[in-house]
Amino acid sequence: MLDVFVLDRAPILERLGGDEEIFTMMIDMFQQDVDNNCATLIAALASGDPLLLQREAHTLKGLLATFSDDAGAERAFALEQKVKRGELAGLDAEVEILVARLREVAGVLAQA
């Protein structure tokens, strides 16, 4: 399992040039899309299409990195690389962990 996600606004705002409005907009977008992102990842796994699953893991890596969730982004990258190498066994647990992480990040961002 992953360490608890803690939002660190400073590095995110630094990357955004200190623009609080963009930061707020990014949080809103994440909140609006989290259910869809979770469903899309689960559907990609269920489809049996490794390229689709790899692409979804890559997308989630970027989303989590946006909010400086290094542990979550690393986990998404690990999934992406496993699929790329053809290591397709046992991915249900990996997907479940990422879905839980997306929901955890969404919960923390709701408090921001």
Residue with token string 């997907």: 95
Q: Per-residue confidence at 1, pLDDT binned at 50, 70, 90? A: confident
Cα(21)–Cα(58) distance, rounded to whole angstroms? 26
> Is residue 91, in this structure, part of any structural domain at all?
yes
Q: Is pTM beyond 0.85 here?
A: yes
Examine residue 52 and state whether it is found in any structural domain, yes or no. Answer: yes
Residue 33 in domain: yes
Looking at residue 72, its amino acid is: G
State the pLDDT at residue 2: 85
Q: Which two tokens mark 18?
A: 């200190």
The total of structural domains in the chain comes to 1
Specify if 4 maps to a domain.
no
CA distances from 78 to 18, 31, 73, 75, 83 (A): 31, 24, 9, 5, 9
pLDDT per residue over 4-62, tens digit each? 999 999 999 999 999 999 999 999 999 999 999 999 999 999 999 999 999 999 999 99
Contact between 50 and 82 under an 8 Å Cβ cutoff? The reply is: no
- pLDDT value for 31: 96
| Residue 19: CATH number of its domain | 1.20.120
State the residue range of the domain holding 103: 9-110
- Domain presence at residue 2: no
Is the per-residue pLDDT at 83 higher than 90?
Answer: yes
Q: Is residue 1 part of a domain?
A: no
